[in-house]
Amino acid sequence: MLIDRLSIIGVGLIGGSLARALRKQNACGHITGYGRSSEHLQEAVDLGVIDDFSLSMDSAVKVADLIVLATPLKTTEPLLKAMRPYLADHAVITDVGSAKGSVVEAAHATLDDFLPRFVPGHPIAGKEKSGVSASTADLFQSHRVILTPLPETSVSAINKVRQMWELCGAEVVQLGVKQHDEILAATSHLPHMLAYALVDCLAGMRERDEIFRFAAGGFADFTRIASSDPQMWHDICIANRAELLRSVEAFGKYLENIRFAIEKDDSETLLDIFSRAKETRDRFTQTRDHRNDSTE
Amino acid sequence: MLIDRLSIIGVGLIGGSLARALRKQNACGHITGYGRSSEHLQEAVDLGVIDDFSLSMDSAVKVADLIVLATPLKTTEPLLKAMRPYLADHAVITDVGSAKGSVVEAAHATLDDFLPRFVPGHPIAGKEKSGVSASTADLFQSHRVILTPLPETSVSAINKVRQMWELCGAEVVQLGVKQHDEILAATSHLPHMLAYALVDCLAGMRERDEIFRFAAGGFADFTRIASSDPQMWHDICIANRAELLRSVEAFGKYLENIRFAIEKDDSETLLDIFSRAKETRDRFTQTRDHRNDSTE
């Protein structure tokens, strides 16, 4: 069995789905949940997602050989700090945060000689719905999980986390921390900001009722991600600020190119941009094949 | 039978789907196609979409009682001008353009005493794929069609076009020309510009290969509409310039609000915007029910 005792810190959509997937694979002896709300944790027990739970960090982690931190990004540092005194010598810790620079900083600030057993991770999977009730055993199936190990991280710790995700059906890849944050800012964080800004903009228009009445499928697809969890996205914005700001600024220039071309009746530029974008998007769709990644 | 002889000017995705839907309902005696390419028109005949075709406007429209203009927006004025001399007294003309202000201008410039029999229309339906080979009989099923009649348009002409679309399974609504263009700029034209700008922006980044490799489902949904026909979207930009520029500018302010809040670590503003957008989007999804509108 890959994991004797698994501890999930934060049993929501991601933590719950991970527990379900590992249980389905018989990869875990025992799963303990940790959180702030006994009501939510009891729901997870009732759903069969975890075996039991604890509201105290001490008993939640002291016998665990694998600990998965699956809480909003801003809680990473306080929770790592809180668990540090109780970690067993052989324990491995990983997380699921959508930005990695701030997580690595938090690990450096709190884990000291435990750093070699910490493996920063990010499953590229999610839904607009959150909470353990939305969790499913197949959430990570055919999705990518990015690990961004530190220079200090031990190979055995990386391998344990890699095997865990592979058992969930995920394809595991490694990237540098900065590279991860730059790529995710462009492909995930920036699109979320655009979707939020678009919905907010339309809601502020004079004809707002008619606008939402006539909004078509393109709009529905485009703004699906604006239904994501506001707190989680707040945390991502703060955690990945530098890279995200760079992406938003870059996007602003490309949008300005289009605006200017429309203003100037510049057919050549418009056709160039639209044709190039179509070609790129069509190529993306082809290479993506039957992969089935979702948000985050 | 609603239509004795239907003439479809431009037998592509929209024109072809309309012909298929009306044929399925036995609503047409005979369907003639008009276009520039005998090869494309022969394909439409071979697919059973139209009965025959003509490359000359004279024979394409002279016996038609209903003429549907389904070509790119920039061809509206020259085609209306070309057909005017051959129109039968009882003929009704409609179009399917995604912007209506420029179409109404073209009608005023060309149709003179035939204006009462022209019904500007816009089916809110489409696909990223274009051409008659992508046409289907159910493209308009449960979709909205917006008619923007002129003060001069006769009630009998409006009713004929309304019945045509209702036979295709569409819900027909009437809006003012300016109101249509304002609403469509916000809900369709602006989102397309954002999708084009995003794909173009990402393609210009240093890590472009990795970026497209790791792009997730949120990105795929968000940019689906960037695979739409570049010429069609060029024409829409030019035709609906004023309203589209207003939308792009309004959006820019909302995106700047988010950018500024990220820069200033302004958690309250970020949470406000994201929560408000989520609430609006969730409400939109609910009211949308089982409607199934697609792009445009």
Q: How far is residue B13's CA from residue B72's CA, in Å, rounded to a whole number? A: 12
**B279 near A CB under 8 A:** no
**B220 near A CB under 8 A:** yes
Higher local confidence (pLDDT), A127 or A149: A149
In this structure, what DSSP letter does residue A170 have? P
The predicted pLDDT at position A117 comes to 97
Sequence ranges of the domains in chain A: 3-175, 179-288
Output the pTM of the full model. 0.86
Total beta-carbon pairs less than 8 A apart between chain A and chain B = 306
Report residue B106 as tokens: 């073209």
**Residues in chain A closer than 8 A to B277 (CB atoms):** 195-196, 199-200, 203, 226
SS3 content of chain B, % helix, strand, coil (to 5): 60, 15, 30
pLDDT in tens, B17-34: 999 999 999 999 999 999
pLDDT tops 80 at residue B44: yes
Sequence-separated (6 or more) residues with CB below 8 Å from residue A57: A34, A79, A82, A83, A86
The single-letter code of the amino acid at B203 is A
Confidence of residue B208 (pLDDT cuts 50, 70, 90): confident
The highest-confidence range among A17-21, A206-210, B190-194, by mean pLDDT, is: A17-21
The length of chain A is: 296
Report residue B61 as tokens: 């429209």
Query: Has domain B3-175 been given CATH number 3.40.50.720?
Result: yes
In this structure, what DSSP letter does residue A98 have? S
Sequence-separated (6 or more) residues with CB below 8 Å from residue B156: none
Architecture of domain B179-288: Orthogonal Bundle (1.10)
Confidence of residue A218 (pLDDT cuts 50, 70, 90): low
The predicted pLDDT at position A99 comes to 96
pLDDT in tens, B158-188: 999 999 999 999 999 999 999 999 999 999 9
Residue in A closest to B208 by C-alpha: A183
**B295 near A CB under 8 A:** yes
pLDDT tops 50 at residue B128: yes
Cβ burial B251-261 (10 Å sphere, 16+ → b, else e): bbebbebbbeb
SS3 content of chain A, % helix, strand, coil (to 5): 60, 15, 30
**Could you give phi then psi for residue B186, rounded to 5 degrees?**
-75, -45
**Radius of gyration in angstroms for the set of CA atoms belonging to chain A, rounded to a whole number:** 21
Q: How far is residue B3's CA from residue A57's CA, in Å, rounded to a whole number? A: 75
Task: Tell me which H or E stretch contains A54.
Answer: strand A52-54
Neighbouring CB atoms inside 10 A of A89's CB total 6
Query: Partners of B139 in the beta sheet?
Result: none
Q: How far is residue A275's CA from residue A82's CA, in Å, rounded to a whole number? A: 53
Residue in B closest to A178 by C-alpha: B207
**B148 near A CB under 8 A:** no
The predicted pLDDT at position A217 comes to 65
pLDDT in tens, B234-264: 999 999 999 999 999 999 999 999 999 999 9
Confidence of residue A153 (pLDDT cuts 50, 70, 90): very high
CB B40 within 8 A of CB B11: yes
